[in-house]
């Protein structure tokens, strides 16, 4: 924890963040330490409080405790080390513009996403089998992710357990699978996250979904088309023990094909579909049940006539309203202004710049 060190003493842990695999690693099992920047808006055991959200930084060569009023400086810090960075705890989001804060909500995620400073969008903390603590919604997480994708923002989907802040569920209850070619290294793994080659599981180690488009394209790939056309999609759902649910293909945020069934060790479920494309977009696969998505891929992107994805003016305007709320709430005399003693002008400038980009995206999507 390169933030407040609330969970464990950072002066001990941060020495392990050195760009090298831990000597405790064994063949086939790599242990490697990276960092989370953790400052809350509601701090009871530490002096400083921050609004923006917690950040995970991967691929660092050095880490130390840092206090800043805004996450953007931490994102820059990670990028200077060739790190892969992004907001975590997106499961604390709701489907509405949020005025209520909690410990971990990534309130600035739309700003930094459209400014291009983040690489991934991470759901974490509680698995699909956890009790609902009143601030957890897997559906809202995915809806927010889809809105970003519909604005042409390319972020990979990730997952993790956030132990021990997850009611001490086992490590790997949520996890990220990464398609790594050749000999495995930790660096290849984090670069695969950056490149969108991920599948997440909220019931770790029990199942997997494999999506291919036109027989060769997989999550993170970009299919380039000169004109409208049709792609062929195949999704395979495998399980180590019987799992019942619905395998779905999602195009630009909408389910376009589905297959209901029970995946078993010797009997995978297959979903095959043709998808017509007239404009740039994205395709994901997911496995659903009554508790939401259990597994979910990052997108395969389709670029038509070299144009960016502009799938929803409504989604872009949602982020305009989100940022309007940030600008209002952080202004002098408002509740969130307390989190900024010297950096407000720069932070609100970032808000305003992001807002203008979303307005342009909304116009282009009409």
- pLDDT, one tens digit per residue, over 231-266 is 999 999 999 999 999 999 999 999 999 999 999 999
Mean pLDDT of 336-357: 97
Give 32's DSSP letter: B
User: Between these two residues, 203 and 134, which has the higher pLDDT value?
Assistant: 203
| CATH annotation of 207-311 | 2.60.40.10
Mean pLDDT of 314-319: 99
Summarised one tens digit per residue, pLDDT across range 104-113 is 889 999 999 9
Say how far apart CA 298 and CA 314 lie, in whole Å.
Answer: 22
Q: Which two tokens stand for residue 240?
A: 């180590």
pLDDT score, position 135? 43
Residue with tokens 């989190």, as numbered in its chain? 339
- Cα separation values, 294 from 142, 282, 309, 345, Å: 12, 20, 26, 41
List CB contacts of 293: < 8 A, sequence separation 6 or more.
Answer: 138, 142, 202, 286, 287
CATH fold match for the domains 1-205 and 207-311? no
Summarised one tens digit per residue, pLDDT across range 76-88 is 999 999 999 999 9
Mean pLDDT of 25-34: 95
Backbone angles phi, psi at 110, to 5 degrees: -65, -30
pLDDT score, position 37? 92
Mean pLDDT (the chain) is 92
In percent, the amount of the chain with pLDDT more than 90 equals 75
| CATH annotation of 1-205 | 3.20.20
- pLDDT reading at 6 higher than 70: no
- Specify whether the CB–CB gap between 75 and 118 falls below 8 A: yes
Mean pLDDT of 60-82: 94
Summarised one tens digit per residue, pLDDT across range 268-294 is 999 999 999 999 999 999 999 988 899
For the chain, the domains span 1-205, 207-311, 313-365
Summarised one tens digit per residue, pLDDT across range 125-184 is 666 666 654 346 678 899 999 999 999 999 999 998 877 676 777 777 789 999 999 999
- pLDDT reading at 306 higher than 80: yes
pTM over 0.85: yes
Q: Find the helix or strand (DSSP H, E) in which 223 lies.
A: strand 222-225
- pLDDT reading at 230 higher than 70: yes
């Amino acid at each position: 924890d390169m933030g407040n060190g609330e969970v464990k003493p950072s002066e001990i842990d941060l020495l392990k963040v050195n760009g090298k695999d831990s000597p405790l690693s064994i063949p086939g099992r790599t242990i490697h330490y990276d960092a989370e920047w953790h400052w809350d808006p509601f701090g009871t055991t530490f002096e400083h409080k921050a609004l923006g959200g917690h950040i995970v930084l991967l691929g660092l060569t050095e880490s130390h405790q840092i206090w800043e009023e805004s996450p953007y400086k931490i994102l820059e810090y990670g990028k200077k080390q060739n790190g892969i960075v992004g907001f975590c705890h997106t499961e604390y989001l709701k489907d509405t513009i949020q005025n209520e804060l909690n410990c971990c909500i990534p309130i600035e995620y739309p700003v930094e996403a459209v400014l291009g400073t983040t690489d991934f969008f991470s759901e974490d903390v509680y698995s699909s089998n956890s009790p609902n603590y009143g601030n957890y919604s897997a559906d809202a997480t995915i809806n927010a992710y889809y809105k970003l994708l519909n604005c042409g923002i390319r972020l990979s989907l990730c997952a993790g357990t956030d132990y021990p802040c997850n009611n001490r569920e086992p490590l790997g209850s949520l996890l990220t699978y990464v398609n790594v070619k050749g000999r495995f290294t930790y660096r290849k793994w984090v670069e695969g996250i950056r490149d969108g080659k991920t599948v997440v599981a909220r019931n770790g180690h029990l199942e997997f979904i494999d999506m291919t488009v036109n027989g060769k394209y997989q999550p993170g790939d970009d299919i380039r088309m000169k004109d409208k056309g049709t792609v062929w999609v195949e999704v395979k759902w495998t399980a180590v023990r019987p799992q019942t649910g619905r395998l779905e293909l999602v195009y630009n945020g909408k389910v376009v094909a589905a297959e209901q069934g029970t995946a078993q060790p010797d009997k995978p479920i297959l979903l095959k579909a043709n998808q017509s494309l007239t404009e740039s977009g994205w395709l994901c696969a997911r496995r659903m049940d009554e508790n939401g998505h259990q597994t979910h891929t990052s997108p395969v992107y389709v670029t038509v006539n070299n144009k960016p994805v502009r799938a929803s003016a409504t989604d872009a305007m949602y982020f305009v309203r989100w940022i309007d709320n940030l600008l209002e709430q952080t202004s002098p005399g408002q509740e969130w202004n307390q989190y900024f003693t010297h950096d407000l002008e720069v932070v609100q400038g970032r808000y305003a710049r992001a807002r203008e980009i979303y307005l342009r995206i909304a116009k282009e999507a009409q």
